[in-house]
Each structure stands twice: as C-alpha cells, then as structure tokens.
Amino acid sequence: MAEQVGEKVHEPTEHRLDEARKDGQIAKSHDLAQALVLVVATGVLLFAGETGIQAVTPYFTEYLGGEAWVVTNETEINHQWVRMVLMVAWVTVPLSLLLAAAAIFSQVSQTGLLYLPKKVNPDWSRIDPIAGFGRLFSLQSVARVGFGLFKILIVIVVAGASLWTQYEEFLLMVGWTVTEIGVYTIQVILWTSFKIALALLVLALADYGFQNWKTFQDLRMTEEEFRQEIKELIGDPKILRRRRQVQQQMARSRVTNNVQHADAVITNPTELAVAIKYDPTKMPAPIVVAKGAGTMAQRIRRLALENHIPIVERKELAQALFRDVDINQEVPLDQYNAVAEVLRYVYQLQGKSLPKMPQRQAA
C-alpha cells in the first residue's frame, strides 16, 4: 500500500533538492570527464597530429640530424634550451589547455558551480573499517564492478571490430617500406583509440543518466518526511488551519459590525451587495463599509434584513461601487449623486430628517 511506513511516495520538493545540492548529493558520473578528455585527446591527435608533427619536424631534424654544435658557451646553450622549450610548448600547451577545458566542462555541465564547505571538514566515518568493509561488498560496489567489466568488454569489441576492418591492409603491409608501415600503424592506433573513446563516452552518458535517475529516486520522500518538509516550509498544517479560521472569524465579525451600522445596502440584485454609511458630522462623503459577491453578498443581505437595514436594488451602481471602491473608502465623484439619491430614498422611507449632504463637483 502507498501509505506503508518507509515507502517513498512523494517526489522531492525544490527545497529538498536544494538542500541535497548543498550537501553534495547530486547526480555525477566519474567516467564522463575521463571519457570526454579521451575523446578530445584522441580526436586532436587524429585530426591535427600530422600538422603538429610537421611543425616540429624541422626542429628535430636540426637538433638530431644537423651539424654538431661547436659553440658550448653558456649563452648559446641557454638560447638553444629556450628555443627547444618554446618549440615543445607551442605544440603541447594548446593541447593541454584544450584537455583542461574539456575536463572542466564535463564537471560543470554535470553539477554546475558548487560551493561545498561541508566537504572540506573531515568525515571520520569515512575511515571506519567496518563501514568501509560494508561499502566494499555493498550492492552499489558490485554494480560498479559489473559496469567496469562491461566497459572492458565494450573496449575489446570495439577494438576488435576496428582492427578487423583493416584485415586486408595488414596483409598488404609485407610490401611496404618501414616509413609507410609506421605511418599506417599510427593511423590505425589513433582511429581505434578514437572509436574506443567514443564508445566510452556513450557509456559515460548512460551512466550519468542512471545516476541522475537514482539520485532523484533516493531523494523521494515518505509520507512522514513529506509532512515534516511542509511543516518546515510553511508551518504546522493544524496551526495554519486554526489561523485561517481565526482570520475568517475576524473578517465575519468586521462584516457583521459594519453592516449593522450601515445606512443602506445596494444590491445587484443578489450577486453583489455593497453596504454604505454616511455620518455628516464626521464624514465628508458616504463610505463603503462592506461589500461582497456570491455567498458574501447573501450574508450581507441577511445581516441587513436581521438589523432592519434598507436594501435598495441599483444594478449599475452596485457594480460600479463593487468594482471601483474599496472598503472604508469614500464614494468617488462619478457615483456620488447616485449614492446621495439612495440615501435620500432610505431616509424618506424611514421617516428620518434628511441630512444635508455637501455638493461635490469636479475640479
């Protein structure tokens, strides 16, 4: 059953995912960086290696096959040393930077930029021999070993298939020169290595997808964990319900008190209800003391009937007041005359003396 204790039935919330990320519990494939670096390295050697060899060949020819140095002073030796270092750096530094960029990209693309100060603190549980022995023979370790053996099998299959396609070329090598054999052998090795790297990259991407799925599954929550998460984020549901009940009671009390002291209720005729009040000694203009639609409109009407507050049906006026005037706000100028007419009607109906209402005109 879904309600069994310990069964993870809820997907992780954004808060839980953020907390897991802060703790370093994120999906990551350790093989992806290695595979991407291997693909870049073999790709560069395969497609740009010949250009690099051609660039350094004159230097090697000069140093290894040219005339012997006859000048052995310190200045000339330093000059030749710097020249050799610059020549090697011209070839190796771009490749090193490219491999470093590939490694950084593979890490950032998986985890993004992370700041994990908790990982800096020593975790003494990691050196517990009993716990380490348990991890060594855990299901995860067995799965990792199995995946490693599967990768070895893939490497063997890809390498074998790549070399098998060159079977006929191998038979023709008996008539080639040593230089031709060397060049061809290097090309075959690079092509085979590049294909193996691509296969490992595909396996690493599959491993990353699996790690992403597994991490998400591990972060799923039980019913109790989900309730605790909600409590931490928005508070105890019981307290929230009680708070809403108190707020609703206070709102109803305010509506009841305001309607009881209103002079009239303007309706539309049942969908809307607006209660207005006017005290010429305290107010420069009538104000809206309560308003509502639907159920609230029915409540205002019922309170008006219970307290003998006149109810006047003015459809357009009720719509305008409900739309444009907030509670405890004065009636605007464009509705002032219509409200004044309603108040005159109410006072005449009750037999009261009509209060003197000031004339309001547009500025």
pLDDT tens string 95-121: 788 888 888 887 777 776 666 555 555
Average pLDDT over every residue of 226-247: 68
Residue ranges of domains in the chain: 26-117+128-218, 254-350
Residue 3 has pLDDT above 70, yes or no: no
Residue 2 has pLDDT above 50, yes or no: no
Q: What is the pLDDT of residue 363?
A: 44
Backbone angles phi, psi at 236, to 5 degrees: -65, 125
In sequence order, which residues have a C-beta less than 8 Å from that of residue 281 and are 6 or more positions away? none
Q: Are 278 and 357 within 8 A, CB to CB?
A: yes
User: Across 1-15, 212-226, 349-363, which has the greatest mean pLDDT?
Assistant: 212-226
Confidence of residue 127 (pLDDT cuts 50, 70, 90): low
Closest to 325 measured CA to CA, from 281, 275, 262: 275
How crowded is residue 276: how many other Cβ atoms within 10 Å of its Cβ? 24
Q: What is the pLDDT of residue 4?
A: 46
Average pLDDT over every residue of 296-312: 87
Average pLDDT over every residue of 256-278: 85
Q: What is the pLDDT of residue 33?
A: 82
Helix, strand or coil, per DSSP, at residue 130: helix
Q: In this predicted structure, which of 17-26, 38-47, 309-318 has the lowest mean pLDDT?
A: 17-26
Confidence of residue 179 (pLDDT cuts 50, 70, 90): confident
Average pLDDT over every residue of 348-357: 68
Closest to 5 measured CA to CA, from 227, 181, 284: 227
Confidence of residue 215 (pLDDT cuts 50, 70, 90): confident
Structurally, at CATH architecture level, domain 254-350 sits in 3-Layer(aba) Sandwich (3.40)
Q: Are 354 and 347 within 8 A, CB to CB?
A: yes
In sequence order, which residues have a C-beta less than 8 Å from that of residue 258 and are 6 or more positions away? 275, 277, 289, 290, 327
pLDDT tens string 25-78: 777 777 888 888 888 888 888 877 666 666 666 766 666 665 655 566 777 777
Q: What is the pLDDT of residue 219?
A: 82
Q: In this predicted structure, which of 97-101, 185-189, 198-202, 239-243 has the lowest mean pLDDT?
A: 239-243
Residue of 360 and 297 predicted with greater confidence = 297
Tell me which amino acid residue 47 is.
F
Q: What is the pLDDT of residue 134?
A: 58
Q: In this predicted structure, which of 57-71, 164-178, 268-282 has the lowest mean pLDDT?
A: 57-71
Q: What is the pLDDT of residue 140?
A: 67
Residue 14 has pLDDT above 70, yes or no: yes
